[in-house]
Structure 1
């Protein structure tokens, strides 16, 4: 039996186990329904294989919904709900799906406290875009379901949107480059774009090639001078976002950080030293992907 090739990044299937929705479409020893779960730690690496020395493909953050297909030897085999990515999370990072998030973090980072008191030792931090379940409010702090407290003005209700995706990206200038990163502690190029667009309420795939196929409308490749704020510039394996007609913001290995530079300089350097020529230009309308 043969079937069309499926993107393994988005297909919860192994030779021994697969999502029951794929029965008849892929070959596996057994098929199971994914159990609903949710990430209950500030962030967790999603790996391609269940080994600590396996590279990080992406990150899951507090509040991310997941489908859990197996928990074994300290790892949970999951699919992330927001972008469909499949891989292995640390088992202790995944908890019950309920309570569902009520708020999202709008600050670049905020601290978790054991009490509504800024002088108490913090329990960790949450990054921009993290989702949390608040059960009430005590003074200036939200009381979370796990007993932690977060400074309320750093958060907004889950329906909050930041419509200027390029403005979100600008807030992250200087964030260190991290392969697979999608938090305000470390980002890769597609992670920066995904975070900025998702905070604008726009669905966004995880990886550069997926984004290039799915996002926005194509623009003439020979018209780099016609770009505007929010347009995306793609190379084979890299992506950046325009801040205006001439400046590009991108997380990149040259600066090892989120950086802003003239588009012409970036195009020349990338063509010569890494990803080759620009492969496409894409413009995203405000309602795209919502």
Structure 2
């Protein structure tokens, strides 16, 4: 018997499922779902509609989600289109699809201000990979800002890039920008992230799509590495992943140190055990 699709990346429950899965899973009802755009800086997804459950992942501002159900308690059950992840999240995060984003955040974190002025208290903090619809450029006291398309907020111009601009070309350097960020199970921002989010965000900044969880990344990203580990390789253990940096060091979001750290690869292997695989892009 064929196993049903992975519930992490396929929206199906006994009572409700994505219409695209009809014929692949059993469900009481199949629905098309409605597409929305995340309108908050980030929102956590959980495995069930309970605020006391751990994060499964987070959706970032500008990402599109397909929503299959909204509850009277204010929960939405849906799927992030970026990486296919499924979960429950606050329906307050949902916003209209329009206007289409024009820019992406290219630094670990930046602020969205109510006006083009760094002295104003920020509205929210946006993380690497968030996207925005931006319009005119405005300079205040030598700092250039971009106004949002509706003119209601501003972001520092050098912290964003047009969606069609060239991507970064060094995912290790991108990951190094998160050094010291706290470890957060299921987190996907510089306020807190886990090992696979560090890899996913760093690769995405270089235009490389990757699944959300480490086991999915191991089966989908790169090819088996030949020879000694080298800079940029991904090192996988059961439930963990890190990036090889210079001088045979490992860069990873460590649940042991509880932050993003750089440490000798040999030391990490001594503590965690032999890697299951090393992948090269």
TM-score of the aligned structures, taking structure 2 as reference length: 0.94
Aligned to 1:135: 135
Correspondence for 2:163: 158
Give me the whole-angstrom Cα distance separating, in 2, the residues matched to 1:280 and 1:159. Answer: 34
Verify: 1:217 aligned to 2:223, yes or no.
yes
Distance 1:94 1:164 in 2: 33
Deviations 1:243-282 (CA, angstroms, capped at 9, x unpaired): 12511101011111100011111100112xxxxx210010
Q: Does 1:279 align with 2:281?
A: no
Q: How many equivalent residue pairs? A: 274
Root-mean-square deviation (CA, aligned residues, Å) is 1.4
Task: Report runs of 4+ in structure 1 exceeding 4 Å deviation.
Answer: none
How far is 1:183 from its partner? 0.8
> Could you tell me which of 238, 256, 267 is aligned with 2:269?
267
Q: Note if 1:82 corresponds to 2:87.
A: no
Deviates more, 1:72-81 or 1:116-125: 116-125
Instruction: Provide the residue aligned with 1:288 in structure 2.
Output: none
Q: How does 1:80-229 map to 2 (within 5 A)?
A: 80-139=80-139, 140-145=144-149, 147-160=152-165, 161-220=167-226, 223=227, 226-229=228-231
5+ residue gaps, structure 1: 272-276, 285-290
**CA contact under 8 A between 1:227 and 1:245: conserved in structure 2?**
no
Secondary structure in 1 aligned to 2:126?
A: strand
Unaligned runs of 5+ in 2: none
8 Å CA contact 1:227, 1:244 repeated in 2: no
SS at match of 1:79: strand
Partner of 1:252: 254
Q: CA deviation at 1:149?
A: 1.1
**1:137 Cα deviation after fit:** 2.6
Distance 2:268 2:61 in 1: 34
Equivalent residues of 2:106, 2:160 under 8 A apart: yes
